[in-house]
Structure 1
Amino acid sequence: MPRVRELEVFRLTLPFGRRSESLLVKLTDHGGMTGWGEAVSPHPKTWARLEETLGALLIGVDWEHPDAVPSGDSAVDMACWDLWTRMRGVPLAHAIGGTRTSLMATVRLAPDSSIESLVSRVNQQVCAGYGHVTLDIRPGWDVEAVRAVRQAYPALTLAVDCGNAYTDLGQLVALDSYGLEVIERPFAIDDLHAHASLQDQVAASVAVEARSAAQLDDYLTLRAARVLLLRPTAFPSLSEARRAHDRAAAAGWDIQCAGGQGAGLARAATVAVASMPGCTLPCDVTQPPRNNQIVTPIVGANGGVIAVPFTQPGLGHTIDEARVHRLAKESFHA
């Protein structure tokens, strides 16, 4: 039974790419075992709330399972799972029901300065071993870009991520003639009827990013999509993410796990969730830059394949604590 004797919380501004922020939680039990968790781009009030409440919630308190810790925070929940599974000597992936030891990966490509440059970047990724590519599109950068990539690579499995940027169906329906596997996040998340209308008109599967099991139920009721884009760290707990997985899989939906930002811990949790049986589509943890990560081995794809750490307990990665302290802009402990 875990009992935390010390906790530390770090706020990191990552040095590369978009210089995003991560909040790391480290829990240490009385035997010296540690568990780590991460929230990527946390809510501005999260830091103050954890500083006020986390010590009383965890220090010296016995708990039998991570679900017994009512933190409501993904980083704390992840740290509890990491500690709990490390104490039992089991991988996190196994503990939450994962079965795969490796995952196929998709690589995500942002809009480029030209169509020619985009096709060149796709060529680089195909040569690196990727058989699945996701293009980020937006109004004005969609049909021509997809057409050019499809003409260059007729057999490539191709998806598009619309970033919730569209308001009408026209361009998205036009994309369907290019053999897309998935159209991700086409409309505002609460516009269920637009999603349902698009799914009725295209052969591609529409993917929605639900952030609670209840929100997913609304999409299931309207048959507004056929794919759940599951971002585990967007849920308050890994158990809640697993419930969403179970409901989508029971409805016959495909599931794609995504979580390519952060310092590595959130990516590791995404890989663990993606090893569950219902996660049938390639996993997206490949967004650069890899240099932001504070874990060993780095979480990412090699030749289009992501390894699931099924021989190491917990998240399955070693934390570079010296680098954590160097990158920390702020910290507190209790």
Structure 2
Amino acid sequence: MEINQVVLHHLKMNYKHPFVTSHGKVEKKDFYIIELIDDQGNFGYGETEAFATPWYTEETTETNRTMLENYLIPFVLETQIKHPSELTKLFQSIRRNQMAKAAIEGAVWDLYAKRLGQPLYQVIGGEKPIVDVGVSIGLKSTDQELLETIEEKLAQGYQRVKLKVKKGEELRLLDKVKTAFPFLSLMIDANGTYSWKDKERLLALDQFDLLMIEQPFAQDDFVEHAKLQDLLQTPICLDESIHTYSDLKTAIALQSCQIVNIKPSRVGGVQSTKDMHGLAKKHGMPLWCGGMLEAGIGRAHSLAIATLPQFTLPADTAGSAHYWEKDIIQPAIKTDNGKIYLSEQPGIGYSIDQEALAYYRIEKQIYTKK
């Protein structure tokens, strides 16, 4: 593939409802769409998933732009790429910055699949055109609002509910939720806000028969997670701890968890995900694909990843309408009774809604081959 032009679209989109976690409130998505155009006139698209502030990882929207403009875009414009997997080696001189790498790598994979005339999920080794999906629900102002939201999502067919919780309020909250919905497939996530001092509170969570507890401790606490998992009956799932293949090897070796949440943007893209998938499969580690409050392009990439065989648990990839009044792709991604049926069209399977793209766009930069 010879990439002749890269277009960087800077967008801002308001969420239908603020998404509240223990770290704060997310009301707007500030991000970039990467558009690649090859020598045959094909288009490939990727999306940055970093937040405006570095609460989730060290990356932000602006650090993504810096890496893309100064390093990653020049690399892909100056290099003949035979296969998207080559980007892992091409980007080796740049440490971390996984979300910036994933955004442009995703665009290359989309372009590559379109050149082959095949859906992306098939090109990367996915085995099923249907993805079971759950839903992630942020902190709510009242218990009643939360219960009503859960009821609404269950009526829409979502197969699993993830609740964002605040330390100190989770036991009372779970008691209410489980009383109202005793057979609910439920997990919780406090985004790493617990410490070892909270051990007894965490052990008390076993009574609620949760599907998993996601990332109770800080991202670098592999040892503490292992100690807790040894005491807990409930599976621990690691999220923010897993950025690289080496991180996954460490978690498996120390038995820090029983489940891993993989988000392609957090681990550096499709090829890194495929490599981790192989390691998880070798060790019998269940995976599921987490959500990053994506717009349509990032959501389509995540859905393709979720078709890999070791992703055995419902993904956090709700339909477009859960987040947006109008998404930037056509057709919008829809959930059908807890399932999303993937498009059989080439690449990510969705076209770009150019009118919506222009509406949300605040800046556009074009980079061409020298």
Q: TM-score, normalised by structure 1?
A: 0.93
Q: In structure 1, what is the Cα distance between the partners aligned to 2:260 and 2:121?
A: 19
Counterpart of 1:36 in structure 2 is 45
2:123 pairs with 91, 95, 102, which one?
Answer: 95
Tell me, yes or no, if structure 1 residue 106 matches structure 2 residue 144.
Answer: no
Give the Å deviation of 1:226. 0.6
Amino acid at match of 1:117: E
Amino acid at match of 1:199: Q
Secondary structure class of the residue paired with 1:26: strand
Counterpart of 2:228 in structure 1 is 198
**In structure 2, do the counterparts of structure 1 residues 231 and 55 end up closer, same or farther at CA, with 3 Å as the change threshold?**
closer
**In structure 2, do the counterparts of structure 1 residues 203 and 297 end up closer, same or farther at CA, with 3 Å as the change threshold?**
farther
Counterpart of 1:47 in structure 2 is 65
**208-217 or 119-128, which deviates more:** 119-128
Tell me, yes or no, if structure 1 residue 19 matches structure 2 residue 41.
Answer: no
| 1:186-230 deviation digits (Å, cap 9, x = unpaired) | 110111122112211222211001111111111111101010110
- State whether residues 45 and 110 of structure 2, in contact with CA within 8 Å, keep that contact through their aligned partners in structure 1: yes
- State whether residues 27 and 80 of structure 1, in contact with CA within 8 Å, keep that contact through their aligned partners in structure 2: yes
Q: Give the paired residue count.
A: 332
**In structure 2, do the counterparts of structure 1 residues 127 and 322 end up closer, same or farther at CA, with 3 Å as the change threshold?**
closer
Tell me, yes or no, if structure 1 residue 304 matches structure 2 residue 338.
Answer: yes
Q: In structure 1, what is the Cα distance between the partners aligned to 2:74 and 2:49?
A: 24
Amino acid at match of 2:350: H
After superposition, residues 126-137 of structure 1 pair within 5 angstroms as 126-137=154-165
Secondary structure class of the residue paired with 2:325: helix
Give the Å deviation of 1:333. 0.6
**181-190 or 33-42, which deviates more:** 33-42
Q: In structure 2, what is the Cα distance between the partners aligned to 1:141 and 1:49?
A: 39
Q: In structure 2, what is the Cα distance between the partners aligned to 1:295 and 1:313?
A: 14
Secondary structure class of the residue paired with 2:188: strand
After superposition, residues 1-334 of structure 1 pair within 5 angstroms as 2-16=1-15, 17=18, 18-41=27-50, 43=60, 44-54=62-72, 56-59=74-77, 61-69=79-87, 70-71=90-91, 73-167=101-195, 168-209=198-239, 210-286=242-318, 288-291=322-325, 293-309=327-343, 311-334=344-367
Secondary structure class of the residue paired with 1:322: helix
Secondary structure class of the residue paired with 1:12: strand
Q: In structure 1, what is the Cα distance between the partners aligned to 2:292 and 2:335?
A: 11
**In structure 2, do the counterparts of structure 1 residues 54 and 200 end up closer, same or farther at CA, with 3 Å as the change threshold?**
closer
Amino acid at match of 1:293: D
Give the Å deviation of 1:164. 0.7
Percentage of identical aligned residues:
26
- State whether residues 133 and 160 of structure 2, in contact with CA within 8 Å, keep that contact through their aligned partners in structure 1: yes
Listed as ranges, the gaps of 5+ residues in structure 2 are 19-26, 51-58, 95-100
**107-116 or 133-142, which deviates more:** 107-116
Secondary structure class of the residue paired with 1:78: helix
**In structure 2, do the counterparts of structure 1 residues 66 and 329 end up closer, same or farther at CA, with 3 Å as the change threshold?**
same
Q: In structure 2, what is the Cα distance between the partners aligned to 1:131 and 1:151?
A: 18
Listed as ranges, the gaps of 5+ residues in structure 1 are none
Q: In structure 2, what is the Cα distance between the partners aligned to 1:25 and 1:132?
A: 32
Amino acid at match of 2:335: A
| 1:90-120 deviation digits (Å, cap 9, x = unpaired) | 1111111111111211111222222233222
**246-255 or 219-228, which deviates more:** 246-255
Secondary structure class of the residue paired with 1:19: strand
| 1:8-55 deviation digits (Å, cap 9, x = unpaired) | 011112133421211111011122110001111263233233223455
Q: In structure 2, what is the Cα distance between the partners aligned to 1:48 and 1:193?
A: 34
Amino acid at match of 1:140: G
Q: In structure 2, what is the Cα distance between the partners aligned to 1:105 and 1:276?
A: 14
- State whether residues 85 and 95 of structure 1, in contact with CA within 8 Å, keep that contact through their aligned partners in structure 2: yes
- State whether residues 12 and 31 of structure 2, in contact with CA within 8 Å, keep that contact through their aligned partners in structure 1: yes
Secondary structure class of the residue paired with 1:290: coil
Q: In structure 2, what is the Cα distance between the partners aligned to 1:90 and 1:193?
A: 43
- State whether residues 275 and 308 of structure 1, in contact with CA within 8 Å, keep that contact through their aligned partners in structure 2: no
- State whether residues 192 and 222 of structure 1, in contact with CA within 8 Å, keep that contact through their aligned partners in structure 2: yes
**In structure 2, do the counterparts of structure 1 residues 40 and 55 end up closer, same or farther at CA, with 3 Å as the change threshold?**
closer
- State whether residues 327 and 356 of structure 2, in contact with CA within 8 Å, keep that contact through their aligned partners in structure 1: no
Secondary structure class of the residue paired with 2:183: coil
